[in-house]
Amino acid sequence: MGGGMTIVERTQVFLLPDLGEGLSEAEIVEWRVAVGDVVTVDQSVVEVETAKAVVDVPCPYAGRVVTLHGAAGEVRPVGQPLITIAPLDGGDEPAGHATYREEERAGSGNVLIGYGTGHGTATRRRRRPRLAVAAEPTDAGPTSAAAVSRDPAPPSAALVISPIVRRLAREHGVDLDTVRGTGPGGVIRRADVEAALTAPAARLAAVPDPQAGSAPAGDGDVIVALTGVRKVIADKLSRSRREIPEVTIWVDVDATGLLETRAAINAATPDAPVSILALLARICLSGLRRYPQLNARVDTEAQRIVQSAGVHLGIAAQTDRGLLVPVVRDAQRLTTAELAAELAATTAAARAGSLPPARLTGGTFTLNNYGVFGVDGSTPIINHPEAALLGVGRIVDKPWVVDGQLAVRKVTQLSLTFDHRVCDGGVAGGFLRHVADCVERPALLIAAV
């Protein structure tokens, strides 16, 4: 068969890789290549959106694109074909690149950009995104990325690449022809649609989605599709309530001493300020070392409780994409200053949408500062499959008895929601009392470390 092998026989099929723990599918946002294009090893070929992040996916093979499996807006399962690549004829493969990566040859699987091995100083060719005239799907089915027209769009047509942007506009009744695109070549981005929603002339009544499967909307009703991050949040919270017998206990504490300690630390180290959240995280780490039963999860299939060796601390953060819980792995290994810096960087990256999916999973305990919303207390739902969550309310001036005398102090409420399967009230109460005592008398924290 030496000279008879065809291009089809020599093709390499790249499967959609695992994009993070618990993620089984991804929606194609934009193809960065088309059929016939030449790609290099690790070149980004498609942008996909998972339930946790928007990710550029690199291809581990070099050659010519033969097939794009799926169109923009289509959801692809992990492990299914994503793109098919054929080697170039006549030995004109780009110099400096192997047909596939060394780790691919070893069978280690595909990784995302920024997580694979490098290839020296070899140049990688990045194609500019192609602009496509926005069009509603027809009965003939979605248009594949390979068939997207490369002709210039008419001046009056809205340039929309992302189906997510189109869906956002449809759900909120925004006419894309009236939106000014700020992306390259006038492409309408998500931020442009969101800006249009806040404009006085924006039409806020959404158009009902025929695929939403809900009852017909009345006049003025707003239909929001339960997709993406919102769907994952709904599914995870429902599973938590369904599987975990949770209990919430709480206590009011005098946080005056904690605020004074923070002020003293920051006065001594102005170049490395420490937040209240960082001090509360340090106190939680101290409590979990004393009560490791709460740093655990229940393995229902194996009928066992797994206590984690390290504390992978989740921090609940409200973002434009919904409630996310980015994770600081092995937080117990960090100093208080390092913990403060890592928490600040992690929450900022989560709000910017730049965290990889792996940073949004794998937590063992969550700290939730809902006081930023101006509320005193809460009975939060546990971040499944974790076993506990500490909530902190706002810190406000309240009358408080100190040494038998009434005084005005900085008071907050702490609440602990825990999985009753991993421990009883004695352990949970002991942990919460330790946290409360350290908040009221920070010197106890020093004595415990």
Name the active-site residue from 172, 312, 384, 420. 420
What is d(CA 432, CA 252) in angstroms, rounded to the nearest whole number? 11
Q: Residue 102 has which token pair?
A: 């060394």
Q: Are 42 and 124 in contact, with CB atoms under 8 Å apart?
A: yes
Hey, how many other C-beta atoms are within 10 angstroms of the C-beta on 31? 25
79 closest CA partner among 87, 69, 71: 69
Q: What's the length of the chain?
A: 449
3-state percent helix, strand, coil for the chain, nearest multiple of 5: 30, 25, 45
What is d(CA 406, CA 314) in angstroms, rounded to the nearest whole number? 37
Q: Strand order of the sheet with strand 63-68? A: 12-15, 81-86, 63-68, 38-39
Alpha-carbon torsion angle 44, 121, 118, 130, nearest 10: 0
Position of tokens 């102090």?
409
What is d(CA 83, CA 45) in angstroms, rounded to the nearest whole number? 9
Q: Are 100 and 116 in contact, with CB atoms under 8 Å apart?
A: no
Helix (H, G, I), strand (E, B) or coil at 393: coil
Where do the DSSP E strands lie in 255-364? Answer: 296-299, 304-307, 313-315, 317-319, 322-324, 327-328
Phi-psi region of 10 (alpha: psi -120 to 50; beta: other; left: phi over 0): alpha
Where do the DSSP E strands lie in 78-194? Answer: 81-86
73 closest CA partner among 37, 44, 45, 48: 48
360 closest CA partner among 335, 323, 333: 323
Q: What angle do CA 44, 50, 52 make, to 5 degrees?
A: 115
Catalytic-residue membership of 420: yes
What is d(CA 384, CA 419) in angstroms, rounded to the nearest whole number? 10
251 closest CA partner among 436, 401, 111, 119: 436
Give residues with Cβ within 8 angstroms of 404, minimum separation 6.
Answer: none
Residues identified as active-site: 420
